[in-house]
């Protein structure tokens, strides 16, 4: 699997925020103008549905729903992601209705292995990079009533 990152350099601690934003813009170029309706990504394995929840001057809050169509026994994934357009970052703020996701630097145990915020953002990275690298892309938009 090819990556745009050089494997020889060390990744910065928050590399996934930047890469998630880039992948969002690559998969869904019209996401900045998304005010209603839904954006859809579909391939042989999965269906990803993006819906706008909130728009402000510099950010967009979206809901990402992932369903594995080829494996219906796998539970769907739902997360809310805030896109920071001025900083070009994407941050998972809610995962499977767990909110708020607390970053380790705000928790009492800074060395916690249960860093849910980091894990949720890395999961988002894996989802988006998998969609980008699959090569079997069907993109579209769908208006909701």
pLDDT of residue 98: 74
pLDDT at 17 over 90: yes
Q: Extract the tokens encoding 21.
A: 């934003």
Q: Does residue 119 form part of some domain?
A: yes
Q: Does residue 105 form part of some domain?
A: yes
Neighbouring residues of 100: CB distance < 8 A, sequence distance ≥ 6: 93, 94
Q: Does residue 49 form part of some domain?
A: yes
Q: Does residue 74 form part of some domain?
A: yes
pLDDT of residue 112: 54
pTM: 0.78
For CA atoms 110, 111, 117, 122, the dihedral sign is positive
Q: Does residue 8 form part of some domain?
A: no
Instruction: Return the bridge partners of 94, or none.
Output: 80
Q: What is the pLDDT of residues 82-131, one digit of tens each?
A: 999 999 999 999 988 776 666 555 555 555 545 788 889 999 999 999 98
Q: Does residue 78 form part of some domain?
A: yes
Q: Does residue 6 form part of some domain?
A: no
Q: What is the pLDDT of residues 30-67, one digit of tens each?
A: 888 888 888 999 988 899 999 999 999 899 999 999 99
Domain span at 110: 15-132
Q: Does residue 142 form part of some domain?
A: no
Strand, coil or helix: 119? helix
| Look-up of token digits 């999965």 | 46
The count of structural domains within the chain is 1
Burial 20-59, CB ≥16 within 10 A → b, else e:
bbbbbbebbeebeebeeebbebbbeebbbbbbbeebeeee
- Spatial CA neighbour of 68 closest among 37, 94, 42: 42
């Amino acid at each position: 699997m090819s990556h745009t990152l050089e494997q020889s350099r060390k990744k910065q601690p928050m590399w996934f925020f930047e890469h998630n934003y880039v992948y969002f813009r690559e998969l869904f170029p019209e996401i900045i103008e998304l005010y209603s309706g839904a954006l859809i990504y579909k391939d042989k394995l999965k269906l990803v549905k993006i819906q706008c929840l909130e728009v402000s001057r510099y950010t967009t809050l979206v809901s990402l729903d992932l369903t594995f169509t080829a494996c219906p026994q796998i539970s769907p994934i739902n997360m809310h992601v805030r896109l920071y357009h001025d900083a070009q970052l994407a941050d998972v703020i809610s995962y499977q209705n767990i909110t708020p996701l607390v970053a380790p630097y705000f928790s009492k145990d800074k060395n916690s292995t249960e860093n849910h915020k980091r894990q949720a953002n890395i999961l988002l990275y894996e989802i988006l990079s998998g969609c980008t690298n699959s090569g079997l892309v069907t993109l579209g938009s769908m208006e909701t009533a």
